[in-house]
Chains A and B, each alone.
Chain A
Amino acid sequence: MHDVLSLFKRNINQLFGITVDILNVGRSLQQLSLSMQILANNGVVQAAKIQGGKGRPMLALVEILNNTPKEIRPEVAALEHLCAGLAKVTASSSNIVWRYHQLIASLLSAMAHGDRSSASSNLDTLSHLRFTTAADITHLTQHPSFAVAGALERENRQFMVNLCQANLAELHERLKDALRCLGETQQALGGLKMIGLTARYMAFCIASEAAGLAEAEANFKNLSTEITRVVDDLDGKTLAMKKAIEHGQELLDLLLKGYTYAK
Chain B
Amino acid sequence: MQSKVLFQKDDHQWVVIGRDPEKDDHVIDTNEYVIIHRGQAMLLDPGGIQIFPQVLAELAKYVRMQDIKVIFASHQDPDICSSLAMWLDLNPAIKTYCSWLWTGFVSHFSTGAVITLNPIPDDGMRIKIGEEGPEVEAVPAHYCHSSGNFSLYDPIAGILFSGDIGSALVPNHEASLVVTDFDQHIQYMRGFHLRWMPSTTALRGWVQRVRAIKPRMICPQHGSIFQGEHVGRLLDWLESLEVGQWKGATPKSDTRAAA
Contact = CB atoms under 8 A, between A and B. Distances in A.
Q: Do A and B come from one complex?
A: yes
Interface of A: 92, 95-96, 98-99, 102-103, 105-110, 113, 150, 152-153, 155-157, 159-160, 163
A153 B89 contact: no
Interface residues of B, number: 21
14 contacts: A95-B111, A95-B112, A96-B112, A99-B85, A99-B89, A99-B112, A102-B52, A105-B53, A106-B52, A106-B56, A110-B60, A153-B60, A160-B56, A160-B60
B57 A106 contact: yes
Interface in B1-48: 1
Interface in B39-73: 49, 52-54, 56-58, 60-66
B13 to A, nearest CB: 13
Question: Considering residues B49, B63, B86, B111, which has the most beta carbons from chain A within 10 angstroms of its beta carbon?
Answer: B111
B231 to A, nearest CB: 32
A97 to B, nearest CB: 10
B90 interface: yes
Looking at chain B's contact residues, the main secondary structure is helix
B53 A152 contact: no
Contact of B49 (A96, A102, A103): A102
B80 to A, nearest CB: 17
A150 B61 CA distance: 8
Contact of A152 (B64, B85, B90): B64
Contacts of B57: 106-107, 109-110, 113
Contacts of A107: 57
B111 A99 contact: yes
Given A99-B89, A105-B53, A159 B65 contact: yes
Nearest to B60: A156
Nearest to B66: A159
Given A109-B53, A163-B89, 12 more contacts: A99-B85, A105-B52, A106-B53, A107-B57, A109-B1, A113-B1, A152-B61, A152-B63, A152-B64, A155-B64, A157-B60, A163-B90
B64 A156 contact: yes
